[in-house]
Every structure is written in structure tokens, then in C-alpha cells.
Amino acid sequence: MDLDAFAERFTSRLKMACVVYDNRGLGDSDIGPGQPRQEIVPDLQVADISDAITFAQSRSEVDPERIGIWGSSYSGGHVLRVGAVDRRVKVVLSQVPCLNGWENFNRLVRPDFAEFMEGEFQKDPLDRAAGNAPAAIKVVDENPLAPSALPTPDSYDFFRKLWAPKSAWKNEVTLKSLELFRAHDPSAWIHRISPTPLLMTVAENDVLTPTDLALEAYSRAREPK
């Protein structure tokens, strides 16, 4: 999602190299055996970041002792967890991070939709075990009365009006992606990042990755920050 533009900006202004990739099962990236596409598994995405660090360290043009990680939104939370456990990382930059999946889910999803999804969360594993295709849900929907993964007007404007026309983006994720998102809590790791320096960039009045959740998590981070 325009990550190449961020990389070009970084490398044009700073003496650095950037590793940019699509997360597994999305965009141009492949997926592991037996895993469906359009399924977002945060634990696997976190592990993939550490694999990307290994790849970067193997490159002759990269100083293996000066590795930084940058992530935005969902990945903005991922880099906090990686920075807490992978000491090869020398700086963590987190932009508008998604920090507490449970709180985030219950703020984004209407209570009646949440009740419906809870039933589907329980039904989907049995359907998969029976050999059926994974249940899926739209990422965004023009109809505010329809369930979607990101039910905000700005999400619809970004994905359908700005991103979809210039990419092969697919407007769906597996329902399990939402269940895993709800259980994901990278804020639990933030106090363990120190002594690695942390920069967190937070938007004002953010409803998709709520500002108050980001500021609360940041207050628990230790110096240097």
C-alpha cells in the first residue's frame, strides 16, 4: 500500500536501504502450504518481520548492526512486539499503531454485528474441518449498515477510491483474520522495548487506530522514547 513510496522517500533523504514486501497471502506474496490467501495472521506477520531482518543482515550493502524497523497501522503494532524480543533491532518506529485488538474491535464493530460475528467465529473452524472454503468478509463496504472489517468512511475512501484503482487489491479477508485481530495485543510488549529507542507517531482523533489507546500504551513505554 504505497510502501515503495515511503521507501523512496526514506532512501532519498537518508543514507539507508529499505526492505519492502507484501505480507504473506496478500498482494504479490505467496502463502504457506495449506494456508488460504487473504488471511491475516498477526503472529506469522510478526515472525516474517524477523525473517526480513535476517534477509537485510545478509545483504552486503546493509550494516547488520544498524537495523531499524518501521510499521504503520496493524504493522505499527507488530514492530513493537518485534522490537521487544529481537535485539538485532536498534530502533523502532511505530506510526498510528493498532495496539489493542479487543478494544479496537469492540469500538469499530457494531454490537449487533459483533454478536453475528461471534457465531460465525465458532462456525468457521467446523466448516474448514469439513473441507469448505474459509468464511470471508469485505474489508470495506459503501453501505454503513453492512458488516465489514474496517467500517469507517475514511477506510472506504482510501481502499475503494484511492488504492483499488491502481492495484490488484482484493476487497476481502477471511473471517478468521478478524477473530485473530480481536485477540492481538501488541501493547502488552511495549514496556519491554527499552533500552531500544522508540518513536511512536500518533494521529489526532483517530477512530481506526484510536488515539487514546496509543497514548495510553506510549505512557507505559520506557525510555528512550
pTM, full prediction: 0.93
Q: What pLDDT sits at residue 190? A: 99
> pLDDT of 127-175, one tens digit each?
999 999 999 999 999 887 889 999 888 888 888 777 777 777 899 999 9
Mean pLDDT across the stretch 35-52? 97
For the chain, residues classed under CATH 3.40.50.1820 are 1-100+185-225
Predicted pLDDT at 79: 99
CATH of 1-100+185-225, one of 3.30.9.60, 3.40.50.1820, 3.30.390.30, 2.60.40.2130: 3.40.50.1820
Residue carrying the nine cell digits 474448514? 128
**Predicted pLDDT of residue 73:** 95
Exposed e or buried b per residue across 58-93, where buried means at least 16 C-beta atoms within 10 angstroms of its C-beta: eeeebeeeebbbbbbbbbbbbbbbbbbebeebeebb
With residues binned 3-state (H G I as helix, E B as strand, rest as coil), the percentages for the chain, rounded to 5, are 45, 10, 45
- Half-sphere exposure (CA, 13 Å, Cβ side) for 51? 9
pLDDT at 39: 97
Q: Render pLDDT for 61-113 as a digit per residue (tens, 0 to 9).
A: 999 999 999 999 999 999 999 999 999 999 999 999 999 999 999 999 989 89
Query: What integer best gives the mean pLDDT of the chain?
Result: 94
Residues 141, 72: Cα–Cα separation, whole Å: 22
Q: Which residue has the higher pLDDT, 5 or 42?
A: 42
Q: CA-CA distances (angstroms) from residue 65 to 53, 88, 204?
A: 11, 7, 34
Render pLDDT for 177-204 as a digit per residue (tens, 0 to 9): 999 999 999 999 999 999 999 999 999 9
